[in-house]
Amino acid sequence: MAKGKEFKVGLFAVLMAGALYVGFNYLRGLDVFSPLNTYYAVYKNVSGLNKGDRVILNGLEVGSVVERQFIDQHYDEIMVTMAIDKTIVITDSTMAKLAKPDFLGALEVQLVMKAGGNRVLQSGDTLIAAVDRGITELLTEEGLSAANSLSALVNKINDVLDPFVDKADTISLAIDNFKYFSDELVLVTRDARSSLEQIKLKLDYTADSLVAVMGGIKPLLEEYQKLGVKLNAVDVESRLQKMDSVLLSTQAFVDRLNSKEGTYGKLMSNDSLYDNLTRTMADLDSLFIDLRYNPKRYIHFSVFGRKNRPPADGREISTKRKKK
């Protein structure tokens, strides 16, 4: 009974291994049920080529790498075993070339069919091995070119620097002078930094003073704000209307004065009043003069009575006095 179970387990393991092999190769595009031929190729270096890597013919996968091993104990050649579809006719002019399809891709074996083959190879024959010119060689060539260019540049720099060898003392003195200038510049920078710090302190003090002044101005602004509120409460429009009314009345009054109508207009525009006033003032002047020099004519006391003398013309009296 136990042997029956072991047989079943072994059979199951074999079937699972076969299924895995079939599924793996099917996913790789190989028809596992088609017959395969085995071919060999010998290379010096197969770095990057692994078991199961593809064998490509004109972009189509026709096989895979089965094994890699050294030929002998010198370890200088490696034989690669390939399983290729039996339907592919391979001649002795067919080349198995190691190539890298892209920069990040794995290596693959590319079959290159060339015309002029003499015979058809059979399973177990060896193909012509070749290695594609890879990225490593390109980088090597570019590296050599860059190294040569760098060497030429170094030689040119040496040619340029040779004249300065004799002037090493002068260059050293120039370097010392530059160092002295650098030290002086450091001192100047330090002094400037100290001055800037002092200016900053003064600015801070000024800012604090301004803050204090603004604190004192704030109550004054509040008073002005209250005054503004009071002024806004005043009916300015009605007062302006009253002022306009007064100005219109004044303008009407001035116009009436200038129109020579009414008493005030006539007084301002007629010269007769001025002339009459002038004559009246002259008469009053004569009266006062006569009163001064002949007071008895106007003020007298008489028990029996006395004839009144006619009043004298003050202007005549003044003229007589001037003649004397």
Handedness of CA 50, 51, 53, 54 (dihedral sign): positive
pLDDT, the chain, mean: 77
More confidently predicted of 226 and 21: 226
CA-CA distance, 196 to 128, in Å (whole number)?
83
What 8-state DSSP symbol labels residue 71?
A: S
Mean pLDDT of 89-98: 92
Please determine, for residue 30, whether its predicted confidence score (pLDDT) is greater than 70.
no
Backbone φ and ψ of 60, nearest 5°: -105, 135
In the chain, the percentage of residues whose pLDDT exceeds 70 is 74
Range in 43-52, 69-78, 145-154, 179-188 the model is least confident about: 145-154
40-87 pLDDT tens trace: 999 998 888 888 889 999 989 999 999 999 998 889 999 999 999 989
- The answer to whether 290 and 314 are in contact (CB under 8 A) is yes
Q: What pLDDT, on a 0 to 100 scale, did the predictor assign at position 251?
A: 82
Question: Cα(50)–Cα(59) distance, rounded to whole angstroms?
Answer: 19
pTM above threshold 0.75:
no
Compute the radius of gyration of the chain from its Cα atoms.
69
Hey, what amino acid is at 127?
Answer: L
Enumerate the domain spans of the chain: 1-33, 35-132, 139-181, 182-234, 272-323
pLDDT band for position 135 (cuts 50, 70, 90): very low
Q: How does pLDDT run across 255-309, given as a tens digit for each residue?
A: 776 766 666 666 666 677 777 878 888 888 888 888 888 877 776 655 555 555 5
**How far apart (Å, rounded) are the C-alpha atoms in residues 62 and 79?**
19
pLDDT in tens, 208-220: 888 777 777 777 7
H, E, C per residue of 2-66? HHHHHHHHHHHHHHHHHHHHHHHHHHCCCCCCCCEEEEEEEECCCCCCCCCCEEEECCEEEEEEE
Two structure tokens written together for 53: 């890597």
- Say how many C-beta atoms besides its own lie within 10 A of residue 264's C-beta: 12
Instruction: Provide the pLDDT confidence category of residue 141 given band limits of 50, 70 and 90.
Output: low
- Nearest Cα residue to 109 out of 40, 173, 176: 40
Q: What are phi and psi of 115, to 5 degrees?
A: -75, 155
Of 125, 93, 89, 127, nearest in space to 109 by CA: 127
Q: What backbone phi and psi angles, to 5 degrees, belong to 58?
A: 55, 40
35-132: what fold? Elongation Factor Tu (Ef-tu); domain 3 (2.40.30)
pLDDT value at residue 302: 55
Q: How many residues does the chain have?
A: 324
The mean pLDDT of 83-111, rounded to a whole number, is 86
Residue 158 pLDDT grade (very low, low, confident, very high; cuts 50, 70, 90): confident
Q: Is the pLDDT of residue 322 over 50?
A: no
DSSP symbols for 229-273: HHHHHS-HHHHHHHHHHHHHHHHHHHHHHHTT-HHHHHHHH-SHH
Please, what's the largest Cα pairwise distance for the chain?
Answer: 204
pLDDT at 139 over 50: no
